[in-house]
Structure 1
Amino acid sequence: MKTILIVGASRGIGLELVPQYLEAGERVIATARDAAGLERLRDLGAQAMKLDVTNPASVSGLSWQLDGEKIDRAYYVAGVFSADDAKSPPTQQAFDAMMHANVLGAMQALPQVAPWVEEARGQFVFITSDFGQIGGVESSRAWVYHVSKAALNMAVVAAQPDYPNAQFLLIHPGWVRTDMGTPDAPLLPEESVAAIRATVAARTTRSTGFSSRDVPYLRWDGTPFSSW
């Protein structure tokens, strides 16, 4: 039985990861920031843990809560989206909220979680986006989101050499039919998550000495992006 940690499991892709891993016979630790989310996770059979990635004090206690664990697979899923474009400047409040949830939250959680992933020689998966690519951008739609995901990608790549006994992965989940993805999205959450799980499992390795050159930037189905 493997231990799976899902940071940001109250809805969407994070929530769908929980039953899929439980049905596969794995132990799941999953986080949510409010009572309703925690109750939902417990009802599914997960070990629920309160965490708000936008609150540094909350994130700072994460390692203490995980003390003694060996995390075979960790997922950082938490994030927010905005479709605003470059025709008007973002407000400081909107920019800070996006960068905090999508970048700072991940950067604060990473050193709290990665040592426990190293204990298991496991994998740390960060849910990113194709919007994080710098090459081939054709529109400013969601430009602050673009910036946040590019920054997340850079943070993960930069951090990998500090944790050589953990494998970091960046995965774009596709356009998924969630609150963030809208009902127009072609992929169902269960389809995206099943493909993500297969992609992550296919990358499983017990090798050591991972470097920034080893961080794959993948689509949900395992195909790599040709450029960053």
Structure 2
Amino acid sequence: MATVLVIGASRGLGLEFVRQYRAAGDRVIATARDDEGLARLRALGAEPLRVDVADPASVSGLSWQLDGVEIDVALYVAGVIDRGNATTPPTQQAFDHLMHTNVLGLMQVLPQVMPMVEAAGGVFGALSSRMAQIGPVSGSGAWLYRVSKAALNMAVSSARFDYPKATLVALDPGWVQTDMGGGAAPLSAEASVSGLRAVLASLTPDDNGQLIHHDGRRASSW
């Protein structure tokens, strides 16, 4: 039985990760920011923790809530989107909200959680997006989201050097039928998470710091 930590698990892909890992018989510790989310996690048999990744004070208490547990798989799933493009400047409120949730939260979580992942020789996956890849970018839609996920990719690629006993990767879940992805998306949450779980189980040292797609493809460029 593995010990799995899912950060940002109250709905969507995070909740599906909890569902699938619990169905596999694993111990799952999962975070949500409100009572409704915590109740959903508890109903699936997860051990719920109250954490708001957009609030640095809330994130700062994560390590003592985990109390040194060894973590085989850790996932940073929390994320928000803004769909504006480069024809309109983002507001400071929108910028702060996305960057706090998508980037700062991860950068605060990593130093607290990675020693526990290293203790298990485990893996840490941070959900990114193919929309963050600079080489094949096709337009400026959701440009603030793209920028935030590109920053997340850099945080992952940089942090791997400080935790050599673990594997740290960025994960592209694909275009998924969630509140963020919308109903027109081609992938179900179940299929995306199933693919990502297979990716996490197949990682090698050569994958450390890389962006990997849900179907196992390794990104050819950032």
TM over 0.5: yes
Deviation at 1:68, TM superposition (A): 2.5
TM-score for the superposition, normalised by structure 2: 0.97
2:137 alignment partner in structure 1: 137
Letter paired with 1:217: L
Q: 1:93 is aligned with what amino acid?
A: Q
- How many residue pairs match? The answer is 222
1:74 Cα deviation from its structure 2 partner:
0.1
Displacement of 1:6: 0.1
2:170 alignment partner AA: L
CA distance in 2, matches of 1:69, 1:94: 35
Shift of the alpha carbon at 1:215? Answer: 1.5
**TM-score (normalizing by structure 1):** 0.95
- Equivalence map 1:3-18=2 (5 Å): 3-18=3-18
Q: Runs ≥4 in structure 1, deviation > 4 angstroms?
A: none
Structure 2 residue aligned with 1:153:
153
One-letter code aligned to 1:198: A
CA RMSD of aligned residues (A): 1.2
CA distance in 2, matches of 1:171, 1:70: 22
Distance in 2 (CA, whole Å) between partners of 1:198 and 1:214 is: 16
Looking at structure 2, the residues matched to 53 and 136 of structure 1 have their Cα atoms a distance apart, in angstroms, of 30
Aligned residue in 1 for 2:44 = 44
| Aligned mates of 1:137, 1:82 — CA distance in 2 | 17
2:220 corresponds in structure 1 to 226
Provide the C-alpha distance between the structure 2 equivalents of 1:176 and 1:215, rounded to a whole number of angstroms: 23
Distance in 1 of aligned mates of 2:210 and 2:144: 23
Contact 1:66 1:116 in 2 (8 A): no
Which structure 1 segments of 5+ residues have no match? none
Structure 1 214/68 Cα, relative in aligned 2: closer, same or farther at 3 Å? closer
What is the aligned partner in structure 2 of residue 117 from structure 1? 117
1:214 Cα deviation from its structure 2 partner: 3.1
For residues 2-23 of structure 1, the C-alpha deviation after alignment (integer angstroms, 9 at most, x for no partner) is 1000000001100000110011
Summarize the alignment of residues 191-210 of structure 1 with structure 2, pairs less than 5 Å apart. 191-203=191-203
CA distance in 1, matches of 2:137, 2:195: 25
SS in 2 for 1:151: helix
Deviations 1:114-171 (A, max 9, x none): 1110110100000100011111212110000110000000011111111111100111
Gaps of 5+ in 2: none
Q: Distance in 2 between matches of 1:138 and 1:172?
A: 17
CA distance in 1 between counterparts of 2:34 and 2:65 reads 17
Matched, 1:215 2:209: yes
Question: Residue 216 of structure 1: CA displacement?
Answer: 2.0
